[in-house]
């Protein structure tokens, strides 16, 4: 019986540690579920596009809808020029979405509830934005930090604040996904624990346990919404940041 609500986030080694170049390489349950996520996404998309029917079946519809959804998001946020980043955004979106959904299966591990994972994703986006911005615009990319129409005597302070505001992006980008998943799963676990604890009190407790059970059902539906919504938010924030790299200073 699992009462400790934090226990679900613990990392275990699945295999004995391997030492490689002086580093300990461990294959943990987190790595296992990341691998599983990638496999599920790949299998889904490969199976969905295998038949390529004119009238799509169910699987093909899923693939086409997710493609169109992300393509529309990228197009409307970054313009047609941003479509070269479509594979990047689509990969991120599908990874986060499937990881969130797999995490909702009871007894499974939620990869996106680890700050390391979401932080790595957000930092990747951040460095892609900075790298592409400088590659594409050279030093003009720095215009991003110089707002127009600001009096020159406060401009230095504004520029520093803008730079800081830019540097906070990977943090809020990753924390938003991480904290939403963490909080949701803890809430679910706490209410599920109430059921077990109440049921331990005998017949009266069984009737009492109906209340937290109803709560768990409602919360699960909410978590399903949050899982999809947070994947979308992650993707659209990526698009907004990429938009800065493509069109800085306007």
Cα distance between residue 45 and residue 187, in whole Å: 32
Q: For the window 133-152, what string marks contact with another protein as x by the rule CB under 8 A?
A: -----------x--xx----
**Is residue 209 within the footprint of another protein (CB under 8 A)?**
no
Q: Smaller CB distance to another protein: residue 210 or 218?
A: 218
Closest C-alpha to 30, from 102, 97, 85? 102
How many residues bind another protein (CB under 8 A)? The answer is 32
Among 9, 69, 220, 232, binds another protein (CB under 8 A): 232
Segment contacting another protein (CB under 8 A): 17-25, 61-69, 111-119, 238-246?
238-246
Q: Smaller CB distance to another protein: residue 60 or 77?
A: 77
Output DSSP code: residue 19.
E
Segment contacting another protein (CB under 8 A): 49-57, 90-98, 207-215, 224-232?
224-232
* Nearest distance in Å: CB 140, another protein: 13
Q: For the window 63-102, what string marks contact with another protein as x by the rule CB under 8 A?
A: --------------x-------------------------
Spell out a b/e string for 142-165, using b for 16 or more CB atoms within 10 Å of the CB, else e.
Answer: eebbeeeeeeeeeeeeeeeeeeee
What is the residue whose two structure tokens read 């949701």? 184
**Is residue 230 within the footprint of another protein (CB under 8 A)?**
yes
Determine contact, residues 244/133, Cβ cutoff 8 Å: yes
Among 11, 15, 25, 167, binds another protein (CB under 8 A): 167
């Amino acid at each position: 019986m699992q009462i400790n609500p934090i226990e679900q986030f613990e990392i275990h080694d699945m295999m004995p540690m391997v030492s490689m170049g002086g580093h300990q390489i461990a294959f943990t349950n987190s790595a296992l579920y990341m691998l599983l996520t990638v496999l599920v996404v790949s299998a889904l998309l490969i199976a969905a596009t295998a038949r390529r029917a004119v009238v799509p079946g169910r699987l093909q519809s899923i693939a086409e809808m997710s493609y169109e959804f992300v393509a529309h998001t990228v197009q409307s946020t970054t313009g047609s020029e941003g479509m070269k980043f479509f594979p990047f955004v689509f990969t991120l979106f599908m990874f986060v979405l499937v990881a969130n959904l797999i995490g909702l299966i009871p007894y499974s591990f939620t990869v996106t509830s680890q700050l390391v994972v979401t932080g790595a994703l957000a930092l990747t986006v951040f460095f892609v934005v900075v790298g592409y911005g400088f590659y594409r615009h050279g030093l003009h990319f720095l215009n991003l930090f110089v707002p127009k129409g600001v009096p020159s005597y406060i401009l230095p302070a504004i520029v520093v604040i803008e730079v800081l505001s830019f540097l906070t992006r990977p943090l809020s980008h990753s924390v938003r996904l991480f904290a939403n998943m963490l909080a949701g799963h803890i809430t679910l676990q706490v209410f599920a624990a109430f059921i077990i604890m109440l049921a331990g009190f005998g017949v009266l407790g069984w009737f009492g346990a109906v209340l937290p059970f109803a709560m768990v059902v409602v919360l699960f539906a909410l978590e399903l919404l949050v899982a999809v919504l947070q994947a979308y938010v992650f993707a659209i924030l990526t698009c907004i940041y990429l938009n800065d790299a493509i069109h800085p200073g306007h």
